[in-house]
Amino acid sequence: MQTIVGWHVDIEFSEDEDTGKTKASCLVRLPDGTELRGHGRAKRHPDDMGQQRVGEEIAAARALNELCRNLMRKAGHEIEEVTHIPAHIAM
């Protein structure tokens, strides 16, 4: 039997058009009640034209990358709790 499980990742942005800085925060709530977060930033070069979407994409990618590392760390700790052997999870 196949079970389908879904997780939703929320991403929120804050932007300062004057400085060209974009921040992204992401959150995933796992079925065990754990909430994991990631944060990312992007900064537009002063000579570049303003493209809000590009800053959001870069900041989101960096936030999701941090979220990924946090999720891998959590999984490693859970493996270690059961096996009592250091887990080395590759990306």
Q: What is the pLDDT of residues 59-68, one digit of tens each?
A: 999 999 999 9
Among 79, 7, 59, 57, which residue's Cα sits nearest to residue 36? 7
Give per-residue pLDDT as tens, 37-46: 999 999 988 8
Q: Does the pLDDT at position 75 exceed 80?
A: yes
Mean residue pLDDT of the chain comes to 92
* Distances 34 to 27, 54, 55, 70, 74 between C-alpha atoms, Å: 10, 30, 29, 11, 10
CB 82 within 8 A of CB 65: no
- Specify the pTM: 0.87
Residue 50's pLDDT is 73
For 90, the token pair is: 């590759």
pLDDT band at 90 (very low <50, low <70, confident <90, very high): confident
Residue 42's pLDDT is 96
pLDDT band at 52 (very low <50, low <70, confident <90, very high): confident
